[in-house]
């Protein structure tokens, strides 16, 4: 067989990535009678959509979901029976839940394993965005460049007043997934939580505190975090649109 007649070689799929899904929050801002990750979205619990999107990504080795100690809902999900889905008990804050999952993962995977941390409350994450993040620097996060004018504010009595307009082109809104090597992220989170726990609001902030500069990867606008009741209405409309159009990807910016 000549080189020209050989069938084209497909590069092997790298399916060595682990995903951590913190899902141990109570979702107080939603004001619902159950945590937001279990609220119905197009007839399924919100977290089921999140897990289905991640499970459909060919790069996946496994998922570790951090759930609350008193969680009675997770075990009822179809996805809970998937052999690639593992669970751990989460902690008081999101960072504690992520750290619990990293501690478990360090008994299952090599220290340099690439880990993506993704909020259970972002059900519209697209496989295209996950792929773009996987292809970026070893430390990277999905994020949205600011589209509004951004103001710094200070409290003045019972009002908030503008003190400054920030240069918008330098402002990005962090989303998830956020990616880093397993052991580096674990150590940065442990050290960050000791040094300045209130500053650790995502994985990137722990990496930044240790001097790293994670890459920002532009994400689809539809990858928002369901936080307030209106977000649930929007998420349902976008999912319906995605199902009707048969699209796997998110709504572009």
- Residue ranges binding ligand C5P (CB under 6 A): 22-25, 37, 66, 90-94, 97, 119-121, 225, 227
Q: Is the CB of 29 or the CB of 168 nearer to ligand C5P?
A: 29
Q: Is the CB of 37 or the CB of 184 nearer to ligand C5P?
A: 37
Q: Is the CB of 45 or the CB of 91 nearer to ligand C5P?
A: 91
Q: Is the CB of 22 or the CB of 214 nearer to ligand C5P?
A: 22
Q: Is the CB of 66 or the CB of 235 nearer to ligand C5P?
A: 66
Full strand arrangement of the beta sheet holding 140-145: 85-89, 60-67, 17-23, 114-117, 172-181, 140-145, 215-218
The nearest distance, CB 226 to ligand C5P, in angstroms, is 8
The nearest distance, CB 200 to ligand C5P, in angstroms, is 12
The nearest distance, CB 181 to ligand C5P, in angstroms, is 21
Residue-wise burial string across 103-137, b where 16 or more C-beta atoms lie within 10 A, e elsewhere: ebbeeebeeebbbbbbbbbbbbbbbbbbebbbebe
DSSP 106: T
The nearest distance, CB 74 to ligand C5P, in angstroms, is 11
Which is nearest to 123 in space by CA: 208, 32, 222? 222
Nearest position to ligand C5P, beta carbon: 25
CB atoms within 10 A of CB 218: 15
251/202 Cα distance (integer angstroms): 24
The nearest distance, CB 70 to ligand C5P, in angstroms, is 12
174/134 Cα distance (integer angstroms): 16
């Amino acid at each position: 067989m000549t080189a020209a007649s050989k069938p084209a070689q497909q590069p092997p799929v790298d399916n060595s990535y682990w995903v951590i899904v913190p899902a141990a929050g109570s979702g107080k801002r939603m004001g619902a009678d159950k945590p937001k990750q279990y609220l119905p979205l197009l007839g399924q619990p919100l977290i089921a959509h999140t897990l289905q999107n991640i499970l459909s990504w060919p790069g996946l080795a496994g998922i570790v979901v951090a759930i609350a100690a008193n969680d009675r809902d997770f075990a009822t999900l179809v996805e809970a029976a998937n052999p690639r889905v593992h669970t751990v008990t989460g902690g008081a804050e999101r960072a504690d839940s992520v750290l619990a999952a990293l501690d478990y993962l360090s008994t299952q995977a090599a220290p340099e394993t690439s880990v993506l941390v993704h909020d259970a409350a972002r059900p519209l994450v697209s496989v295209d965005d996950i792929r773009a993040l996987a292809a970026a620097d070893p430390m990277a996060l999905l994020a949205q460049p600011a589209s509004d004018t951004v103001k710094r504010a200070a409290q003045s009595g019972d009002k908030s007043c503008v003190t400054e307009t920030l240069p918008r082109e330098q402002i990005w809104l962090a989303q998830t997934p956020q990616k880093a090597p397993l052991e580096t992220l674990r150590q940065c989170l442990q050290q960050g939580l000791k040094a300045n726990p209130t500053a650790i609001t995502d994985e990137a902030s722990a990496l930044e505190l240790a001097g790293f500069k994670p890459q920002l990867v532009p994400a689809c606008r539809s990858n928002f975090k369901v936080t307030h009741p209106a977000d649930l209405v929007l998420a349902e409309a976008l999912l319906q649109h995605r199902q009707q159009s048969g699209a796997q990807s998110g709504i572009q910016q």
